[in-house]
């Protein structure tokens, strides 16, 4: 089996945490590095959370690089009301014994890309696209090195979750998303259109917790905290597991269905900022995922994270 390596760019975040743990639990993948970006909560919390998750999984061999402190243009908007003040409320993560590497996350993305052959680097941003965009702006030579950018973000035929139009990762840094969308790098997007169909139900959480490991109990605790916001907001029995969709796609792309499209993001008008849309009759610049086999998805998430 050829293992696929990836760089996870993340703003943990309980759903980010499940995505990271799923990557660690999957023999098809090699988590080369983690870069952190301000989003759900500010720096240094996102970096501490990434380090704590790797300590929880006994994988402190994986390097963590602290990335951007704020979006490219806008001031930082965070989501403690969803994720709690720590960003990973529902679990108490172990303290890291190693800390972040000294290189900035943007520079780590650049150096790892430039060291790679063309078309071989998979970047998995599951937060605002600030680090990815800054790396492209700082050194455009990385673009031909990129095999695929797989991003959780945007909302097309689905209302936003941060404004009526905009999804959080797009809303926080729409200028970064514009840089990435126009970069020419191969792009696969997991918007709310698909992630709102990845609803983690109580039976999934119970099955995960029943594995009994420290990882399984921490993961279940984080989801139980995280789900209260969406259950109250949407009145549904379950919580969308946004970010793990990116990792599940790398493991088994057949779980998902989508289509190619030209996508763009509003980044000027305050009333529509962060709105993502498809532009018909334009050369596609992305694959937009719109549906999934939820049973297959949750079987993967529960069995793998539970067994870590
Ligand atoms: O809109 C959902 C996205 O915003 C997820 O990545 C979640 O972690 C938050 O960052
Ligand atoms: Ca995230």
pLDDT above 90 for 234: no
Angle 122-126-130 (CA atoms, 0-180°, nearest 5)?
Answer: 90
Q: How far is the C-alpha of 174 from the C-alpha of 208, rounded, in Å?
A: 35
- The number of helices, as runs of H, and strands, as runs of E, in the chain is 12, 12
Expressed in angstroms and rounded, the spacing between residue 11 Cα and the centre of ligand 2 is 5
Q: Which domain holds residue 67?
A: 4-307
Cβ of residue 306 lying under 6 Å from some atom of ligand 1:
no
**What's 96's domain CATH number?**
3.90.245.10
| Residue 236: pLDDT over 80 | no
Confidence of residue 238 (pLDDT cuts 50, 70, 90): confident
114-156 pLDDT per residue, tens: 999 999 999 999 999 999 999 999 999 999 999 999 999 999 9
Catalytic residue among 242, 259, 262, 267: 242
Ligand 1 pocket test target in 9, 37, 40 with most atoms within 8 Å of CB:
40
**In the chain, what percentage of residues exceed pLDDT 90?**
95
Q: How many domains does the chain have?
A: 1
Predicted TM-score (pTM) of the model is 0.98
Residue-wise over 76-112: b if at least 16 C-beta within 10 A, else e? Answer: bbbbeebbbebbbbbbebbebeeebeebbbbbbbbeb
């Amino acid at each position: 089996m050829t293992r696929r390596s990836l760089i996870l760019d993340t703003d943990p975040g309980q759903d980010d945490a499940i995505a990271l743990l799923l990557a660690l639990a999957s023999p098809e993948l090699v988590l080369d590095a983690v870069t952190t970006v301000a989003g759900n909560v500010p720096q240094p919390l996102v970096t501490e959370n990434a380090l704590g998750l790797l300590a929880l999984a006994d994988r402190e061999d994986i390097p963590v690089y602290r990335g951007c402190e704020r979006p490219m243009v806008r001031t930082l908007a965070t989501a403690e009301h969803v994720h709690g003040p720590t960003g990973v409320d529902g679990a108490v993560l172990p303290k890291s014994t190693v800390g972040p590497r000294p290189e900035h996350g943007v520079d780590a993305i650049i150096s790892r890309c430039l060291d790679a052959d063309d078309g071989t680097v998979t970047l998995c941003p599951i937060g605002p696209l600030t680090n990815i965009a800054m790396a492209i702006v700082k050194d455009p030579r990385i673009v031909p090195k990129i095999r695929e950018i797989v991003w959780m973000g945007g909302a097309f035929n689905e209302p936003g979750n941060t404004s009526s139009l905009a999804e959080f990762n797009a809303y926080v840094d729409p200028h970064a998303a514009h840089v990435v969308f126009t970069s020419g790098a191969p792009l696969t997007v997991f918007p709310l259109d698909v992630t709102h169909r990845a609803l983690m139900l109580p039976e999934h959480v119970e099955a995960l917790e029943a594995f009994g490991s420290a990882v399984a109990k921490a993961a279940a605790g984080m989801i139980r905290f995280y789900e209260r916001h969406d259950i109250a907001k949407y009145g549904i029995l379950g919580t969308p597991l946004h970010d793990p969709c990116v990792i599940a796609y790398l493991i088994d792309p057949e779980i998902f269905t989508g289509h190619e499209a030209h996508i763009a993001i509003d980044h000027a008008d305050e009333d529509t900022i962060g709105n993502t849309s498809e532009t018909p009759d334009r050369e596609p610049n992305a694959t937009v995922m719109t549906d999934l086999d939820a049973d297959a998805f949750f079987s993967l998430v529960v069995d793998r994270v539970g067994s870590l």
